[in-house]
Chain A
Amino acid sequence: MTPRRMTPRRWFGSAHLHLAILRSAAWLVPGPQRAEWFAEWRAELWYVKQSPVVFCLGAFRDAFWLRRNSATPNACHTFGLESPARCILLLAVLAAASIFFALRLPFARDMLLPSPYRDARNLAMISAEGRVGAQVPTIPIEQYRSLANRAQHLFTDLAFYRTMQTRVRTAPRQSAEMSIAVASANLFQCLQIPVSSAAPNPGGRQPATWLVLSRAAWRKYFDADPRIVGRVLDVAGQPAVVAGVIPASSWRLPGRMDAWLLQDQAHLAALPPHTRGFVLGHLRTSASPAQPDLRWRISVPNEQGGSDRFECWSLAKGDLILAYLPMALFSLLILSATTPLALGEYPANHYSPPGVMRLRRWVFLVIKIALLLTIICCGSLDLASIVSVNFYPTGWLAGLILGLRWALIDQRQRCPVCLRMLGNPTRIGGPSRTLLEWYGTELICAQGHGLLYVPEIPTSCCSTQRWQYLDPSWSSLF
């Protein structure tokens, strides 16, 4: 067979990604076999022309197989977590990564950070029925007008905005493509965000079109010009006065914006009736939801004699801990039913470690669980942001059960003195000896601190795993 050759350009263009995948998989391969394994996969990759990423992903399965079938004791289970410091370090890195992504993904960030809106309890996003929480515009402007006229018993104010990409003249001979929200003039009044002293007042006699810039756009396109407020910019062929600059954290509504073009009702009236946008409502106190994060439906009579149905989504944020607490308690119930919670017997004798070492074991467990909770909390929010908003309660519950189960199993398999993973498992006895003595697995600390007896089934003589400290006379063996 004639091997298919890759062109040098293709090879150099994508080789970094493919080699990175192979290197990641190589970490799963036991150390002694790693170099040869990587050399073989790299040589094979040289011939792959179609779907090299898919080819490289197959390396993980191969690496897992090698790890599972390696002669190295415990190689398939520990993943280099034998040392307590490495275990904590890895968990800390994962926790930092999950927090990093959570602060960058919209849904996760909104859940974690406090609301920037002072009157969030009385603010609600309104969307078409069945589209609550949608990141795309769902309400035609004609329905917005109908809402504004016929839902005054529910809302004190209603704002409309739609998103568009357009060119903004940033300097006499320069323009930039920006993501703009074309909005009704009352948008920031609804949100109670102070824009500037020259902010548009829908009732006042002021220019018809105002532009509010995000701080990022102000820095990027206007070099953070301190005299930007009051300048007249050309936005898609229309003059607009810059009313102010707001920080990115002030905007939590759907859409990522560089600027907001605030227009009076006359401009909005010129839009085609089927133009879809987002609608924000400021609720009357009597119509505010009793609980935060509540979604509810409203029905508003339309001009044809029927009624339009909408869904509202409060911008108020509930307490994250209170929201997670019932799930956490439920997961503990499931955990106690599926996993033994006892950490084992560590009898006190004159060889047992001093109180500081026992305290260190508990501190290690507490730090491990704290980091796991951070990973699970932020990780489930990250996944919910990427996959679906509805995923996060399920992700939180499943993550808690699996994470706490792992923390307990990991703790039970560590030496109480040095906190390193125990190794060299040995089968002792057999089921036929149950009546006479225990049978199960014996593990040993590689540093010579002791032995762990793990019974196969709990019996009256050995109900849980038991640790035996080795006295210093054994040290010559280790």
Chain B
Amino acid sequence: MALEAKLSHTAAIILQAIHAGHGYGFSVMEMTGLPSGTVYPAMRRLERDSLIRSSWESQSIADAGQRPPRKYYKLTRSGKATLEASHKRYPLLARLIPSPEAENA
């Protein structure tokens, strides 16, 4: 549980935003209102700690949208476990940024 204890409020918000489907950096910025200088280093840290993983979308999808290919982030299994533990520490987190499962429930 060492990682869960280390997760700051900002990191927890970003993790929750990614879990809620805001899969790339600018989308997380828009959802959380945090500046780029906070969001991207935090996402690097989360990726380094294996709480999220990244993957580039294929060039064909980007070409179809007439835009550059995006780098998407997803929660790993340990990321989901950490987020669940963070919900106990920050109870308003899930209500602040509802995840798709919570909305469907």
Contacts and interface: CB of A to CB of B under 8 A. Distances in A.
Interface of A: 1, 3, 39-44, 46-48, 54-62, 65-66, 69
Contact of A58 (B21, B31, B35, B45): B35
Contacts of A66: 41, 44
Contacts of A41: 40
Contacts of A1: 21-22, 27, 30-31
A62 B26 contact: no
B25 A40 contact: yes
A62 B31 CA distance: 19
Contact of A43 (B30, B31, B36, B68): B68
Interface string B22-62: 10111101110001111111001100100000000000000
Interface string B60-75: 0000000111110000
Contacts of B69: 39, 43
A61 B49 CA distance: 19
Contacts, number: 62
Contacts of B29: 55
Given A54-B35, A58-B38, A58-B40, 18 more contacts: A1-B22, A1-B27, A1-B31, A3-B27, A3-B67, A41-B40, A42-B68, A43-B69, A43-B70, A44-B25, A44-B26, A47-B26, A57-B37, A58-B36, A58-B39, A62-B41, A65-B41, A69-B48
B37 A62 contact: yes
Interface of B: 21-22, 24-27, 29-31, 35-41, 44-45, 48, 67-71
A449 B66 CA distance: 55
A59 B36 contact: yes
15 contacts: A1-B27, A1-B31, A3-B27, A43-B71, A44-B24, A44-B70, A54-B35, A54-B36, A58-B35, A58-B40, A62-B36, A62-B40, A62-B44, A66-B44, A69-B48
A45 to B, nearest CB: 8
Contacts of A39: 68-69, 71
**Chain B, interface SS category:** helix
A127 to B, nearest CB: 43
Nearest to A43: B68
A57 B48 CA distance: 23
Nearest to A60: B37
A43 B36 CA distance: 13
Contacts of A69: 44, 48
Contacts of B31: 1
A42 B31 CA distance: 20
A9 B71 CA distance: 25
A135 B1 CA distance: 63
B68 A46 contact: yes
B26 A48 contact: yes
Contacts of B39: 58
B71 A40 contact: yes
A65 B36 CA distance: 13
Nearest to B67: A46
A46 B70 CA distance: 10
Contacts of A56: 36
CB-CB nearest 3 A-B residue pairs: A58-B36, A58-B37, A61-B37
Nearest to A5: B67
A61 B25 contact: no
A61 B41 contact: yes
A238 B41 CA distance: 65
Residue of B21, B40, B48, B69 most packed against chain A (CB within 10 A): B40
B100 to A, nearest CB: 13
Nearest to B40: A62
A57 B37 CA distance: 7
B79 to A, nearest CB: 19
B26 A65 contact: no
Nearest to B41: A65
A55 B36 contact: yes
Contacts of B45: 65
Contacts of A3: 26-27, 67
A43 B72 CA distance: 11
B32 to A, nearest CB: 13
A40 B24 CA distance: 10
Nearest to B22: A1
A60 B35 CA distance: 12
Contacts of B70: 43-44
B72 to A, nearest CB: 11
Contacts of A47: 26
A41 B22 CA distance: 16
